[in-house]
Amino acid sequence: MTKILCLALNPAIDISSDAEVVRHTHKTRTHNQQQFPGGGGINVARVIATLGGVCELMFLSGGATGELLEAMLKRLPVTARPFPIHDPVRVAYAVHETSTNLEYRFVPEGPLVTEEELAPVFEAIAASDADIIVASGSLPRGVPDDTYVRLAEIIAAKGARLVLDTSGLPLSEALSRSRMFLVKPSLGEFEAFLGRKLTHEEVGPAAQDYVRTGAAQYIAVTLGADGAVLATADGIIRLPAIDVPVNSATGAGDSFVAGMVWALAEGRDVEEAFRFGQASGAATVMTAGTELCRRGDVFDLFEREQRRA
């Protein structure tokens, strides 16, 4: 059995609600409030569990919001292991404006984390027997930009596989200095790394160039409403977007990663896993607020697209 470990260095409590109109200065009255444990690694673990997989979750947790996060995670079928920090876990907030169908997302930078607080996480990962380790999300304040590079070195030494989904300097550091199994940037994140805009026809070859440097065995670039591209050393696979009703984009990228990882852990080949990732992301877009995908929707979309292929 393939063991999966998800890592969340900058988790969050995700709160979402609806409002007819979002206005400056005046109070914006909201309704339909939801709250879920969130942040990249936690969202990935939630979706893997939803799909029927088993995974362990390691996350940083501090303050009263950390206590709330831990209580929320105890209700999920995930083996959750918190690592204490001094500062409180961040709270993110999204508001869906019903009059325009626009979504406003407010995402704090997160707590200040020291090297002493981070060290036990690396020790635990070094001791883990997981086959696939998923590092997903931003880094909190105080954590060096090369943190995922250090993580990649530990994982490579163990013979395990690293799946990375991050952005900005942490992504640049990892792609420039590491050897990873799978990297999943969005188009905007990949363009920021390259320092230039890409046409959709250029995305695949640009990603394949980095695969051939050895930076990653696979690079999957999500293109939002234009689908996704998977680059391997041998070829490029492009999938159009799945046509679904759009309610919220929150967590769609995390769900894409989770769908791919779950399928790979189940023994499916990388192209089929890529299609599962796309179905998981699309199914999350169908749900409101910070709710993620539903298992039935993922399999229905996957099977529908398989028939069309």
Residue numbers annotated as active site: 254
Residue with tokens 């990892």: 174
Exposure string over 160-176, b if 16+ CB within 10 A, otherwise e = bbbbbbbbeebbbbbbe
Four-residue CA torsion sign, 105, 109, 111, 115: positive
Amino acid 194 reads L
Pairing of strands 102-106, 31-38: unpaired
Residue 30 CB-density burial (10 A; 0-12 exposed, 13-18 middle, 19+ buried): middle
Please give the full DSSP string across the chain, using - where no structure is assigned: ---EEEEESS-EEEEEEEES---SSS----EEEEEEEESHHHHHHHHHHHTT--EEEEEEE-HHHHHHHHHHHTTSSSEEEEEE-SSPPEEEEEEEETTTTEEEEE-----B--HHHHHHHHHHHHH---SEEEEESPPPBTS-TTHHHHHHHHHHHHT-EEEEE--HHHHHHHHHH--EEEE--BHHHHHHHHTS---HHHHHHHHHHHHHTTSEEEEEEE-GGG-EEEE-SS-EEEEPPP----S--TTHHHHHHHHHHHHHHTT--HHHHHHHHHHHHHHHHTS-TT----HHHHHHHHHHHHHH-
